[in-house]
Amino acid sequence: MARAAAATINLNALRHNYLLAKNASPENNAVAIIKADAYGHGAIKVAHALADIADAFGVACIEEAVELRDAGITLPILLLEGFFTSDELNYISQNNLWCTVHSIDQIKIIADTQLPKPINIWLKMDSGMHRLGIQPDQYEAAFKELKSLPQVAEVVLMSHFASADELQKSSTDEQIRCFDAITSKLDAPKSLANSAGTMAHPDAIRSWQRPGIMLYGATPFSKPQKIADKLQPVMSLTSEVIAVRDLKPGDAVGYGGTWVCDKPSKVGTVAMGYADGYPRHARNGTPVLVNGKRTQIIGRVSMDMLAVDLTDLPDAGVGSQVEFWGDNLKASEVATYCDTIPYTLFTGITRRVHKIYI
Ligand X SMILES: *Cc1c(COP(=O)(O)O)cnc(C)c1O
Examine residue 332 and tell whether it contacts ligand X (CB under 6 A).
no
Examine residue 128 and tell whether it contacts ligand X (CB under 6 A).
no
Catalytic residue among 108, 117, 144, 255: 255
Examine residue 22 and tell whether it contacts ligand X (CB under 6 A).
no
How many chain residues interact with ligand X (CB under 6 A)? 12
- Which parts of 75-151 are beta strand (E)? 77-79, 97-101, 119-125
**Interaction mask 246-275, ligand X, x per CB under 6 A:** ------------------------------
Q: Interacting stretch for ligand X, rule CB under 6 A, among 44-52, 83-91, 209-217, 280-288?
A: 209-217
How far is it, in rounded angstroms, from Cα 98 to Cα 92?
7
Q: Least distance from C-beta 299 to ligand X, angstroms?
A: 32
User: Judged by CB, which is closer to ligand X: 201, or 210?
Assistant: 210
Examine residue 211 and tell whether it contacts ligand X (CB under 6 A).
yes
Give the residue, chosen from 22, 45, 160, 300, that forms a contact with ligand X under the rule CB under 6 A: 160
Q: Least distance from C-beta 21 to ligand X, angstroms?
A: 9
Q: Least distance from C-beta 270 to ligand X, angstroms?
A: 29
Examine residue 342 and tell whether it contacts ligand X (CB under 6 A).
no
Q: Least distance from C-beta 218 to ligand X, angstroms?
A: 9
Number of neighbours of residue 229 by Cβ within 10 angstroms: 10
How far is it, in rounded angstroms, from Cα 148 to Cα 321?
61
Q: Interacting stretch for ligand X, rule CB under 6 A, among 146-154, 206-214, 255-263, 301-309?
A: 206-214
Q: Least distance from C-beta 124 to ligand X, angstroms?
A: 8
User: CB burial class (10 A; 0-12, 13-18, 19+) of residue 72?
Assistant: exposed
Distance between start and end Cα atoms, the chain: 20
Catalytic residue among 18, 22, 35, 45: 35
Task: Decide: 252 and 294 in contact? Cβ < 8 Å.
Answer: no
Examine residue 33 and tell whether it contacts ligand X (CB under 6 A).
yes
Examine residue 345 and tell whether it contacts ligand X (CB under 6 A).
no
Active site residue 343: no
Pairing of strands 321-325, 287-290: antiparallel
How far is it, in rounded angstroms, from Cα 57 to Cα 76?
6
User: CB burial class (10 A; 0-12, 13-18, 19+) of residue 27?
Assistant: exposed
DSSP state of 292: T
Give the residue, chosen from 40, 128, 133, 212, that forms a contact with ligand X under the rule CB under 6 A: 212
Nearest to 38 by CA among 220, 191, 234, 231: 234
Query: What is the phi/psi pair of residue 140, to 5°?
Result: -65, -40
- Which parts of 248-300 are beta strand (E)? 252-253, 259-260, 265-270, 287-290, 293-298
Q: Least distance from C-beta 47 to ligand X, angstroms?
A: 15
Give the residue, chosen from 45, 210, 300, 330, that forms a contact with ligand X under the rule CB under 6 A: 210
Task: Decide: 306 and 270 in contact? Cβ < 8 Å.
Answer: yes
Pairing of strands 306-309, 293-298: antiparallel
How far is it, in rounded angstroms, from Cα 147 to Cα 141?
10
Q: Interface residues for ligand X in 45-104 (CB under 6 A)? A: 80
Give the residue, chosen from 220, 254, 268, 287, that forms a contact with ligand X under the rule CB under 6 A: 220
Examine residue 134 and tell whether it contacts ligand X (CB under 6 A).
no
Q: Interacting stretch for ligand X, rule CB under 6 A, among 142-150, 191-199, 291-299, 345-353?
A: 191-199
Longest dimension (CA), the chain: 77
Q: Interacting stretch for ligand X, rule CB under 6 A, among 40-48, 143-151, 205-213, 240-248?
A: 205-213
Q: Least distance from C-beta 213 to ligand X, angstroms?
A: 4
User: CB burial class (10 A; 0-12, 13-18, 19+) of residue 236?
Assistant: buried
Task: Decide: 342 and 39 in contact? Cβ < 8 Å.
Answer: no
How far is it, in rounded angstroms, from Cα 247 to Cα 262?
10
Active site residue 190: no
Examine residue 279 and tell whether it contacts ligand X (CB under 6 A).
no
Q: Which residues contact ligand X by CB under 6 A?
A: 33, 35, 80, 160, 194-196, 210-213, 220
Catalytic residues: 35, 255
